[in-house]
Amino acid sequence: MCRLFGLHAGSRPVRATFWLLDAPDSLSEQSRKEPDGAGIGTFDPDGGPRVTKRPLAAWEDHAFAREARELRSTTFLAHVRYASTGAHTLVNTHPFEQDGRLFAHNGAFHGLDRLDARLREFGVAELVQGQTDSERLFALITAESRRAGGDVAEGITRAVGWVAAELPVLALNIIVTTATDLWALRYPATHPLYVLERDPLTEPAPVAPLDARSSRIHSRSTELAESRSVLFATKRMNQNPGWRPMAPGELVHVGPDLAVTSTFPFPDQPAHPLTLADLEPSAAASQMS
């Protein structure tokens, strides 16, 4: 399944190094184990979003994701894609940018024709440049955020609430970031999403740099050796005992001061739940760990 990673470093930009494919891929492995895209989003000092990404449909493109890239930002959003809908193209690769916000998604849902009609109704169909369910979901969040006067949490609640009530849903795990705020949602219980509120002053080795890695995404920051941060990831990325699984339906907000709040605005299950058996074989393979 897709890999999500979000990092909020507070109000002061910090430098971090990212590798989007930390472990070598074996040519002998089945093709579905190969990622279909990778990208990372950050914010400039003026708050403008910056996205670096590439589709990874061919083996030779994987060098892009293995190269270390040193970035500076207050928030970071990384994603490694395993495609369930849409071709291996740049426009289908996460993160996506709309209205100065960045978005990445892990999951799948059906009913894209109905969602397209909803986007046309709200006058935001032009926001969608590719074929993915993810970008369409982001466009609905953007539309609802606009209708809510820029309230992103309300936009997420309205958009996901509509999808959960109206469309067949497997999983809607998402991260949305601005330069100052981060929102993460796990919905429903299909896929895990973990959060770590990191305070180096309470850790056994307070001078150790941030070093978070999985088999796909690796992030390291010496500047966060003595500063608080909040991390989100598809899997626990180090041995820190503070990692906790987000509860199904939990929407977490992290503010500029790293204050973390949680709400539960959704029903336990979507009205029309999907299972892996309901997906096409390639889409089902993309949702398996």
Digit-coded pLDDT (tens) for 176-205: 999 999 999 999 999 999 999 998 877 665
Residues of the chain below pLDDT 50: 26-32
Q: Any idea where the domains of the chain sit in the sequence?
A: 3-286
φ, ψ of residue 226 to 5 degrees: the values are: -125, 20
Please tell me the predicted confidence (pLDDT) of residue 83: 66
Q: What is the reported pLDDT for 206?
A: 53
**pLDDT at site 214:** 86
Nearest to 106 by CA among 52, 37, 31: 37
Q: What share of the chain is helix, strand, coil (3-state, %, to 5)?
A: 25, 35, 40
- Structural tokens at position 113: 């024709």
Domain 3-286 has CATH 3.30.1330.100: no
Contact present, 39 and 51 (Cβ < 8 Å): yes
Residue 183: C-alpha distances to residues 154, 211, 223, 264 (Å): 11, 22, 23, 13
In the three-class reduction of DSSP (H, G, I as helix; E, B as strand; rest coil), residue 155 is classed as: helix
DSSP H or E stretch at residue 279: none
Residue 205 confidence (pLDDT): 58
Which pLDDT score, from 0 to 100, does residue 29 have? Answer: 42
Handedness of CA 213, 217, 220, 225 (dihedral sign): negative
CA distance linking residue 232 with residue 194, whole number of Å: 5
Residue 289's pLDDT is 62
Q: Is residue 166 within 8 Å of residue 113, measured between CB atoms?
A: no
Contact 159/105 with Cβ under 8 angstroms?
Answer: no
